[in-house]
Homo-oligomer: A and B are copies of this chain.
Amino acid sequence: MVYIGIDLGGTNIAVGAVDEEGRILAECSVKTLAQRPFTEIVKDMAGCVIRVMKQGGFTEKDVHSVGIGIPGVADERGVVLNCANLGWFNEPLAAEMGKYFSIPVFIGNDANVAALAESYAGVSKGCHSSVMITLGTGVGGGIVIDGKAWNGAHGRGGEMGHMTLVPDGVPCTCGNNGCVERYCSATALIRMAKQECQAYPDSLILKKAGGDPERVNAKLVIDAAKEGDAPALRVFNSFVYYLALTINNITAFLDPDVIVLGGGVSHAGKFLLDSVRALLPRYQIFKALPIPRLEIASLGNEAGIIGAAMLGK
């Protein structure tokens, strides 16, 4: 049997046929053109599924299921409740796909899907439980328990970006204050760097940005920290501190086998990993017990297809 995965993004629709082990056997992609009506986008998604089946020489009987990773929330009936990037609210995605083929359709949040991909074919492969934290413009995440993506009882699961980290802290886009996302995202790193540059205008951060605070980005802050720039290191260490607290909170609550860092900021790699790992033991109770392994995500763009495919497994 093969598993088809659809990575539905605001820019591209990427579709692939995946084997039991999470290896991609055939794939294709088209532009999303997100302004189009719901039914037209779904038609293109279904078209890609059929193209991938032809490419791989599969008939409907060979395909176990079609999984779709969306940047939003769906319910168990396959209705997309909220997908702001595409302007979808209460759209019957599974039912609409059913007009093109009669293969079971499963829908999951893209962060959950990335976590699932890592647990089938990436750095958490073979683990009973894992949590992925995606450190991007915002902070998302996914939980995998016993080989299944855990979406929660009401589709709210894995939203660690909106756990409160600092009561009455920095206002968040969600309407609350002090969310994890305001301290552990690329956006947070940039905000803290800009503040630091105001106080220390000779920082390497500002030099790397050509003197323009508006050009400061996460990579540039981390690069300056790697080179030992004191203001950049203060920003980076603050980021690492908040991330370590978040990881400790996940450990104290769920204690998974592995915690995986993904998203743009995770490209800082070993520099980030070593810094966070060094802080973790300090925050653990039961010092004698082992703690979850902390790793950087190993799958790149393919995670979206692989994880979506594994939704039906």
Closest residue to A152 on the B side, CB-wise? B255
* A–B pairs, 29, beta carbons within 8 Å: A127-B153, A145-B145, A151-B255, A152-B251, A152-B256, A153-B256, A153-B292, A154-B289, A154-B290, A154-B292, A155-B255, A155-B289, A156-B255, A156-B286, A157-B253, A157-B255, A158-B253, A159-B252, A159-B255, A160-B253, A162-B252, A163-B253, A164-B165, A164-B245, A164-B283, A166-B166, A166-B167, A176-B282, A250-B253
Q: Which residues of B contact A254 (CB under 8 A)?
A: 143, 150, 152, 157, 253-254
Residue in B73, B145, B291 whose CB lies within 8 Å of A156: B291
Closest residue to A287 on the B side, CB-wise? B175
Query: What are the 8 tightest A-B residue pairs by CB atom distance, in nearest-first order?
Result: A152-B255, A156-B255, A157-B255, A153-B257, A163-B249, A159-B252, A174-B285, A154-B290
Q: Which residues of B contact A292 (CB under 8 A)?
A: 153-154
In the bound assembly, the distance between CA atoms of A167 and B127 in angstroms comes to 31
Q: Which residues of B contact A155 (CB under 8 A)?
A: 255, 286, 289
Write the A126-159 contact mask toward B (1 if CB under 8 angstroms, else 0): 0111000000000000010100001111111111
Using a Cβ–Cβ cut-off of 8 Å, how many residues does chain A contribute to the interface with B? 51
In the bound assembly, the distance between CA atoms of A229 and B288 in angstroms comes to 46
A161-202 with Cβ < 8 A to chain B: 162-167, 174-176
A contact residues vs B (CB 8 Å cutoff) = 73, 81-82, 127-129, 143, 145, 150-160, 162-167, 174-176, 241-242, 245, 248-257, 282-286, 288-292
Q: How many copies are assembled? A: 2
In the bound assembly, the distance between CA atoms of A290 and B76 in angstroms comes to 14
Chain A interface helix/strand/loop/mixed: loop
Most buried by B among A128, A154, A252, A254: A252
When the two chains form their complex, are residues A245 and B167 in contact, meaning their CB atoms are under 8 A apart?
yes
Most buried by B among A150, A167, A248, A256: A167
Q: A153-B129, A291-B154 given as contacts; is B285 within 8 A of A252 (CB)?
A: no
In the bound assembly, the distance between CA atoms of A289 and B166 in angstroms comes to 24
In the bound assembly, the distance between CA atoms of A155 and B288 in angstroms comes to 11
Residue in B129, B253, B255 whose CB lies within 8 Å of A253: B253
